[in-house]
Amino acid sequence: MNIYPLTFDEFLEATDTNLYKFYSGINKDGQIEDIFHNRLTESYNNYLIIGGMPECVNSWVQYKDPAKILKIQKELITIYENDFSKHNGKVNSGRILMVFRSIVSQLAKPNEKFVYGAVRQGGRARDFEEAIEWLVSAGMLNRVYNVSKMEHPLSAFDRLDCFKLFLFDTGLLKYMAGIDNSAILLKTDYQFKGALTENFIFQQLKGQFEVEAHYYSDNKNEIDAILQYGTGIIPIEVKGGEDRSAKSFKKYVNENTPSCAIRFSKRGYRKDGLFTNIPLYLAPKIKDLL
């Protein structure tokens, strides 16, 4: 049995049962009144801070104290890092630790692509590929491959040497990045906002579809996420706030007119030209909304 941190909908069920009942009833093209949209956005902001680790969620339900959450997250990171040397088998535990600790700086780069040299100066694939494989297999990291073409079947176009690594829990990533809770709760812009939002989206998408989400990037354009649904390819843009679409996304949608295109943001749920804007908090329900 594969056990993951609570997804946002599971977090909502644990922390606000009445709001979860409304959330469960949201259907395709359904109307979400502002009062519910605002409450769900607030819960989403809380989820970025708390994450889905059961002990963190349980503490939030009992005490509603962010300081207690920080203490638990610190303890969890320490335990994980200490465990690397106990369960690593033949893989160098020091290199596992170096990769793990590099995730924040990797995601802070403009294109977020994993770079071996950012782990250690002069580092190469042969130095760290076993450590990455260990962390991915252990469920600690979520590897998202770039594709050379946005066509069916996506996996046939995997660029195995080009990928992003996301942490398995958004709350722990927020802690490791040292983001102050007020930056999220006060809805201010902060340097790591885009990366944290993408981490959330890929965490929620994991396991929903037979083919895991990918992304596309070349020298000129980037599509944040790509889904394969049946034989269809769905481009996705991820925005941490209410800002408008990026040029690459608009260009792709206009030139290829896919049957479905999605922009995740904090805007309301509505059709917006050739694509559908879906609030970030609905990411766990995306398959039901297609």
Task: Tell me the DSSP string of 157-179.
Answer: GEEEEEEEEEES-HHHHHHHHT-
Enclosing domain of residue 230: 8-289
Q: Is 7 exposed, middle or buried (0-12, 13-18, 19+ CB in 10 A)?
A: buried
Query: Residue 3 falls within a domain, yes or no?
Result: no
Write down the residue that tokens 């071996």 correspond to. Answer: 116
| pLDDT score at 83 | 93
What does the pLDDT look like over 114-126, one tens digit per residue?
Answer: 999 999 999 999 9
CA dihedral 276, 30, 197, 262 (to 10 degrees): -20
Query: Residue 1 falls within a domain, yes or no?
Result: no
What does the pLDDT look like over 82-113, one tens digit per residue?
Answer: 999 888 888 999 999 999 999 999 999 988 99
What radius of gyration, in Å, describes the C-alpha atoms of the chain? 19
What does the pLDDT look like over 228-284, one tens digit per residue?
Answer: 999 999 999 999 987 776 889 999 999 999 999 999 999 999 988 888 999 999 999
Query: Residue 228 falls within a domain, yes or no?
Result: yes
Query: Residue 79 falls within a domain, yes or no?
Result: yes
Q: Name the amino acid, one letter, at 56.
A: C
What does the pLDDT look like over 33-79, one tens digit per residue?
Answer: 999 999 999 999 999 999 999 999 999 999 999 999 999 999 999 99
State the Cα–Cα distance between residues 37 and 239, nearest whole angstrom: 16
| % of residues, the chain, pLDDT over 70 | 99
State the Cα–Cα distance between residues 50 and 73, nearest whole angstrom: 9
Q: Report the domain count for the chain.
A: 1
